[in-house]
Amino acid sequence: MYADYKDYVNMFGINEDINEQIMRLLEEASDQIDRLTYGRIRRKRFENLTEFQQEMIKKAVCYQAKFLADYGEYISSPLSGFSIGDVSLSFSDENQGAGGIIADKRALDYLAQTGLTVRRL
């Protein structure tokens, strides 16, 4: 896991009563970040990355965990979108990363700065 509960709380100021849920979301987000970076973080080992890369990855994991908390039930749906009355929900192609992962745009932006999402590496 690339970000921990403290990183998440520092970023979003969350009530500590939901620690277990946040830990599960951070674990899932870390797994998704691994897929978005083609497994490069695990291969290179997080501690061997530059300080800048580590910071960007922590931010990406926290934003992805928040995205999963907010939209997880919709992301895991087999539908690409849905409408109920006047309300419509669908995810933009900008939110799709490697392997079809639906991700927070900010998480994708932070990862892009690390150089670990380039396909040709």
- Residue 11 above 90 pLDDT? no
Burial class, 16, CB count within 10 angstroms (exposed 0-12 / middle 13-18 / buried 19+): exposed
DSSP the chain: --S-HHHHHHHH---GGGHHHHHHHHHHHHHHHHHHTTTHHHHH-GGGS-HHHHHHHHHHHHHHHHHHHHHHHHHTSSSSEEEETTEEEE--GGGB-GGG-B--HHHHHHHHTTT-S-TT-
Is the residue at 117 inside a domain? no
Residue 119's pLDDT band, with cuts at 50, 70 and 90, is: confident
The pLDDT score that the predictor gives to residue 91 is: 62
Is the residue at 91 inside a domain? yes
Residue 16's pLDDT band, with cuts at 50, 70 and 90, is: low
- Indicate the number of domains in the chain: 1
Is the residue at 121 inside a domain? no
Is the residue at 119 inside a domain? no
Domain that holds residue 91: 5-112
Q: What are the pLDDT digits (tens) for 44-84? A: 999 999 999 999 999 999 999 999 998 877 666 555 566 67
Is the residue at 99 inside a domain? yes
The pLDDT score that the predictor gives to residue 36 is: 94
Region 5-12: mean pLDDT is 81
Which one has a higher pLDDT value, 31 or 7? Answer: 31
Is the residue at 120 inside a domain? no
The pLDDT score that the predictor gives to residue 29 is: 95
**Model confidence, pTM:** 0.75
The pLDDT score that the predictor gives to residue 89 is: 65
